[in-house]
Structure 1
């Protein structure tokens, strides 16, 4: 072997070891992504095979000619930690290194088979990762709406139920030899800027909502019924293993030549603690996720996957992760080539004991999954549990619950069934299929599709005779040559539905937007069709990030507007069902829809959330931006009307301090009242107090409907540098027409009224806090004092 080859091998080994040293976890070098691995946590896999084995099956070891008694890691009487330690101790250094990529090669000498770690389940099973694949025997999986639309439902139980359905299909595919059990999902980065291409994957702009979504979806994926409150969380059984990604301050992909691979996110401790890290903390502490993925970018000069403060101290120690940390694909190579971190090509060293510890984290997770000992309660799952009627209906329900009604002039919607026998269905998304699925679904290079597609054309055909014209050759609508036929069908139809928006050619991973307009000639198409239409006009927008459609909002000839996100395989039916009143929309926007000039005021690469007066930058998200919007965060209409009444509320909170609790100072604006004890560090408080409120929600309309009750807090007037308001609780409730329901909220005082100061410290300010329910339907103070 040539010296250069030896040097290359040495560099590869050292890179692996550096990764382990820095993260004390598990890092991925992207390998063989297109190559199908036929050993997924067990021996040779035959597609469609249902009689699988598990690693520590005595018969398997006998067949391998190995004495299972020689391998204590197969002794079920021992704890997982002891077994994992024994397994690693029986490997040579060469064997250990071969387990450190996403394709772990196993160690046949001790009966350890290969395993492919990388599978994806963002909104259904995907073949984007090499750990899951489809063929003629298993060709489909249920594709739910992308997370940005599912989040718009503000329905925690729905989020959890979708996770359960996805994990059931995952277990079925595992039994059939088509998937592993470790899924690098969900994405829980906050949607800080509307231009970011991966908003499609996220649960929106509010860190509390993002974290709540993460915890519920992860619980749905991971929890084995009856073991949710297992005493030893390191031994808690897992249905599948989830992974919350990408940690942290990651939301720039490719904007004006700035790429995620070299981007250095300059983030204050305040924004890091308050916004970027909070969803990950909730995912670990509330969701008990078994993996966290670090991101490509640097954070204040240090690659996220090389920062022991973030990974070892914060994730593993402060938050007490029970699982492993994984680097994003190629991120170790990116660390070397793009970040030029620590000149790793030259020299580094690491103790083998650190490699051992990292491998132990991995094998404990596989043991919790039952890969070593089996998981009998899931053995019966198979092809009939994939694309079941129940899961298909759940996908439709998720789309219906998430779709947001943005405009409804004179109550034109819902359209009366039978009143509009002919329907013009036009626009670049009028016959959308794959566009509804979004990303991290099915890789077009490989087999695999959703259970079925219900396009908008399919959906509307059940309500009338459809006259279709695309109006554009594709979503970029490069010219107006096809507008004429769309105008023509609108003039001869009883009602017109325009389905427009953007898709993965505009916003996606590695593709950030430059503006907030509809692309190409879409605006011309919409206006011309609306002006010519014979009957009512409904505009449907597919997108993840907001689009400035002020022209449509202000156009009296466009009577109604819906946002449908990317609604999944059943999206077309869900859209039609809402427009014709089979379902009363109740979704709320999980992101702010800014006016187009917002993006001219600040670069995507400026990470701060608060306004920057020195540069003229506005604030970001509803928490810090108080300028004009097209539609605000939390906005959404219904076909009925709800009234709120405050039935009961806590108005005063008094906390008695001990001699060990000391007041913390806060900056106040000149001329405002400053309490003698401005705040106490939350870490110094027991934080067991709650404040309560009871809200009666009355449906005063004539249609049954869902209402999302949003509860915000505002800090005491005058504190410098804090949020305008902050969502602290939400609940979705169904209320029949003419009836009412009372919702009870009990909110932890520290979580509901706390703020983060400029140093990143969590503080509980004294003074008059304000609670706001909905859009200001209820406003009342809570006076917090220390004595």
Structure 2
């Protein structure tokens, strides 16, 4: 609407005559590259396999049905790209002796040329497997019925990794989560990168990360469920788990089953440490004139107050900042997202396991420390929905959590 789509003939509007020279400006192309860099998530990096050495890597085998595809990078919500660069071409810009091989007839991978892939990788210093999904597997109007890789992709990955000279790099292109549990503990698979559908500059960003010209810092935007989660009917949208029926719940806030990877997970080439440095609140006293409600919590009774009864003025007045110190202990500069969560001491009875308060990305040079500030709104972040769908605040201890650091806040009614 703000672009004027409903204001008549678009050619007469402010943005109605934008041409390729404007869309593909240097500034916009750099924005696409930065977005791709920020979104790629390092899921595994055993023994520091990545980044690969540009000087010591003499040959690279690039195998997989997504290795030389532009369309997969774009997904199905994109216009024509300004540049056509596939993962294969981007990796070739680093290693001249790059040997490509699709391995599968398509992403569906109904047949896999495993022997051919193994022969291609023989003698290569390293192997990059570019696997995953594309719009033949998931898109608007086409839902997936499985969480595993299509066809014989898993078999191809395991076989190539087993025969490789060194542990392989597995790159996944997909819009949603994939159950790759088989790869997490496979010593022949040294590193795993998830890139989503990273857009026209995604291949360049992937190559930069693989060869150490960019330090990955992306975090997963969703929980990666195991294949058994498909037993849950798609139409059952309850958030909270139900022990009696075995329903595991949905989303990082409530899901209690096993996860392939958790929401917010993501590694880096740097190690970061955190310090909760400044708080203006350790206790929060709720309005004593508000109506108190009793909540049975298994072996105890808790008091709660409706957020609506506390009033807007109270909620605004009791917001407070939290300062978090972050230090980069690595040898590379990095852009690092800091995620602040809240959780209650008491669990069960419809309470979330945790919930995201906020996040902030900070750029740090090697060895640099900085402080960031996030705002906590108790009425929003320390409340929960009761059985009637009304937001309540409960007495007791809550915790603000950043990785392994916690700070308690007591709510007194």
Confirm or deny a common fold (TM above 0.5): yes
Deviations 1:399-438 (A, max 9, x none): 1110000000011110111211211000011112111111
**Residue ranges of structure 1 left out of the alignment (5+ in a row):** 1-181, 183-237, 242-364, 443-448
Residue 112 of structure 1: aligned partner: none
Q: Does 1:731 align with 2:360?
A: yes
Give the Cα separation in 2 of the matches to 1:408 and 1:718: 33
Offset at residue 655 of structure 1 (A):
3.3
The structure having more radius of gyration, on CA atoms, is 1
SS of equivalent to 1:594: coil
Please state how far the C-alpha of 1:779 moved relative to its aligned partner.
1.2
1:619 aligns with 2:246: no
Alpha-carbon distance, 1:466 to partner = 1.1
Structure 1 range deviating more: 649-658 or 511-520: 649-658
User: What are the Cα deviations for residues 271-296 of structure 1, in whole angstroms up to 9, with x where unaligned?
Assistant: xxxxxxxxxxxxxxxxxxxxxxxxxx
Corresponding position of 1:439: 76
- How far 1:573 moved relative to its partner? 1.0
CA distance in 2, matches of 1:453, 1:699: 35
Post-superposition CA distance 1:500-550 (Å, at most 9, x none) = 011111112222222211111111111111111123410001112111111
Cα pair 2:241 2:256 within 8 Å, conserved: no
Q: 1:395 aligns with which of 24, 29, 32?
A: 32
Go from structure 1 to structure 2 and tell me whether the alpha carbon gap of 1:371 and 1:529 turns closer, same or farther (over 3 Å shift): closer
Q: Does 1:407 align with 2:44?
A: yes
CA distance in 2, matches of 1:579, 1:760: 47
In structure 2, which of residues 278, 294, 308 is the aligned counterpart of residue 682 of structure 1? 308
Match of 1:551 among 179, 182, 189: 182
Contact 1:664–1:681 under 8 Å retained in 2:
no
The CA distance in 1 between the partners of 2:348 and 2:236, in whole Å, is: 24
Q: Identify the match of residue 506 of structure 1 among 125, 137, 140.
A: 137
In structure 2, distance between residues paired with 1:580 and 1:539: 14
What's the counterpart of residue 566 of structure 1?
197
Matches within 5 A, 1:235-274: 238-240=2-4
Instruction: Give the equivalent residue in structure 1 for 2:375.
Output: 746
Contact 1:673/1:718, CA 8 A, preserved across alignment: no
Worse-matched range after superposition: 541-550 or 399-408: 541-550
Q: 1:483 to 1:780 in 2, by over 3 A?
A: same
CA distance in 1, matches of 2:16, 2:238: 49
SS of equivalent residue, structure 1 residue 520:
coil
Shift of 1:780: 1.8
Say which SS state the counterpart of residue 326 (structure 2) adopts: strand
Q: In the superposition, relative to structure 1, how do residues 456 and 683 fare at CA in structure 2: closer, same or farther (>3 Å)?
A: farther
Write out aligned runs for 1:503-652 (5 A).
Answer: 503-600=134-231, 602-649=232-279, 650-652=281-283
Contact 2:296 2:302 in 1 (8 A): yes
Distance in 1 between residues matched to 2:334 and 2:217, nearest whole Å: 7
Residues 381 and 714 of structure 1: is their aligned pair in 2 closer, same or farther, counting only changes over 3 Å? same
Task: Say if 1:682 and 1:750, in contact at 8 Å, map to a contact too.
Answer: no
Unaligned runs of 5+ residues in structure 2 are none
Distance 2:162 2:397 in 1: 52
CA distance in 2 between partners of 1:547 and 1:382 (Å): 38
Distance 1:370 1:662, change over 3 A: farther
Asked if the contact 1:429–1:500 (Cα under 8 Å) also holds between the matched residues in 2, the reply is: yes
Does residue 476 in structure 1 map to residue 112 in structure 2? no
Q: Does the CA contact (< 8 Å) of 1:418 and 1:463 recur in 2?
A: no
Shift of 1:560: 0.4
Counterpart-to-counterpart distance in 2, 1:473 and 1:539: 19
Question: What SS is found at the alignment partner of 1:484?
Answer: helix
8 Å CA contact retained: 2:40, 2:218: yes
* Mapped partners of 2:77, 2:366: distance in 1: 39
Question: Does the aligned pair in 2 maintain the 1:501–1:543 contact within 8 Å?
Answer: yes
Per the alignment, residue 60 of structure 2 pairs with: 423
RMSD: 2.1
Q: 2:262, 2:346 → 1: CA distance?
A: 23
- Aligned equivalent of 1:671: 299
Query: Where is the helix percentage greater, Structure 1 or Structure 2?
Result: 1
Secondary structure of the equivalent of 2:366? coil
What is the match of residue 452 of structure 1?
83
Q: Check 1:716–1:495 CA distance in 2 against 1; reply closer, same or farther (3 A cut).
A: closer
Alpha-carbon distance, 1:718 to partner: 5.2
- Map 1:705-784 to 2 at 5 A: 705-717=334-346, 720-774=349-403, 777-784=404-411
Aligned equivalent of 1:496, options 103, 107, 127: 127
Q: Which residue of 1 aligns with 2:7?
A: 366
Task: For residues 719-764 of structure 1, give each alpha carbon's deviation from its aligned partner in whole angstroms, at most 9, with x where no partner exists.
Answer: 6212111111111111111110111122222121121112121222
Deviations for 1:274-330, whole angstroms, at most 9, x for unmatched residues?
A: xxxxxxxxxxxxxxxxxxxxxxxxxxxxxxxxxxxxxxxxxxxxxxxxxxxxxxxxx
| CA contact 2:4–2:10 (8 Å) conserved in 1 | no
Q: Residue 296 of structure 2: SS of its match in structure 1?
A: coil
Distance, in Å, in 2 between the alignment partners of 1:657 and 1:366 is: 52
User: How far is 1:690 from its partner?
Assistant: 1.0
Alignment of 1:113-192 (within 5 A): 182=1
Taking the aligned partners of 2:179 and 2:406, their CA distance within structure 1 comes to: 30
Once the two structures are superposed, what CA deviation does each residue of 1:223-244 show, in whole Å capped at 9, x if it has no partner?
xxxxxxxxxxxxxxx3446xxx
- 283, 286, 291: which is aligned to 1:662? 291
Q: Matched residues in 2 for 1:457 and 1:611: separation? A: 43
CA contact (8 A) 1:431 1:455 kept: yes
